[in-house]
Amino acid sequence: MRMQVGLARAIEANEFELHYQPLIDLKTGRMVGAEALLRWRLPDGSLMPPAQFIPVAEESGLIVRIGAWVLHEACRQASLWPAINGPAPWVAVNLSALQFRQGGLETLVAAALRDSGLAPGRLELELTESILISDPASVLAAVTRLKAQGVMLSIDDFGTGYSSLSYLTRFPVDKLKIDRSFLQDLGGRGQGQTIVEAVIGLASNLGLACVAEGVETAEVARLLKDLGCGYGQGYYFARPMPAEQLMAFARAQT
């Protein structure tokens, strides 16, 4: 309850900020996009990670207002990112199931794009498997209308949710993000490697792009590239960082 009051106040007090984690093209090693990750800057200056407050924001419904701020802010900041070497980077934004259940998500996305001037193709929306199976008919309609706006759609934490694969052909998604738990024993002969190979193959056969999350070593990055995974994200490349540092990171690469 205390946190809920704090969260409600945090929106008015402008205490949220977005950090960005680079998404890397594994073939070229270049940053091609970044995932926006929400942080709560408490009045004492400390930073609260989302795992501690997003569950409360979801239970209380505040995630709808917070999520609206995230979309506007991510689009606004991404619209300032220059093309440094190749196309200007895209921004990936995480969505909660509640944002779909509330309705109006398409209107919100359209407003964020219009207000920022960001090209729709530079906005990626990360959906979870639980969103896709929660209310298939209404979510399918909403996702289809979002896709019609020209945004990119990805499935986050792929492989950790329900293993019904039928939604992969029904929903107009562009990309799978392999959950970082499967990268743990990559390079060994464990099941992680089998699953990673299977997901990369599945994505490829369905014409979807593939992102591996939680890349922590050069060996894993090289192995993923050799297995045909297009993109990587993880501490090996860069940790999530404040917006001001992201362009310096992109420039330092060239």
Q: Is 123 in the site for ligand G (CB under 6 A)?
A: no
Q: Is 124 in the site for ligand G (CB under 6 A)?
A: no
- 29-33 contact pairs (CB < 8 A, 24+): 29/253, 30/85, 30/86, 30/253, 31/89, 31/237, 31/238, 31/249, 31/250, 31/253, 32/86, 32/87, 32/89, 32/90, 32/231, 33/89, 33/90, 33/91, 33/92, 33/124, 33/231
Nearer to Na ion, 5 or 198 (CB): 198
Which span sits near Na ion by CB under 5 A: 64-72, 92-100, 151-159, 195-203?
151-159
Task: Provide the mask over 36-75, with x wherever binding to ligand G is found by CB under 6 A and - wherever it is not.
Answer: -xx----------xxx--x--------x---x--x-----
Q: From residue 239, give the alpha-carbon distance in Å to each of 96, 155, 214, 245, 253.
A: 23, 21, 10, 11, 15
**What minimum distance in Å lies between the beta carbon of 6 and ligand G?**
17
**What minimum distance in Å lies between the beta carbon of 35 and Na ion?**
9
User: Binding residues for Na ion, per CB under 5 A?
Assistant: 156-157, 213
User: Binding residues for ligand G, per CB under 6 A?
Assistant: 21, 37-38, 49-51, 54, 63, 67, 70, 94, 96, 156-157, 180, 213-216, 233-235, 240
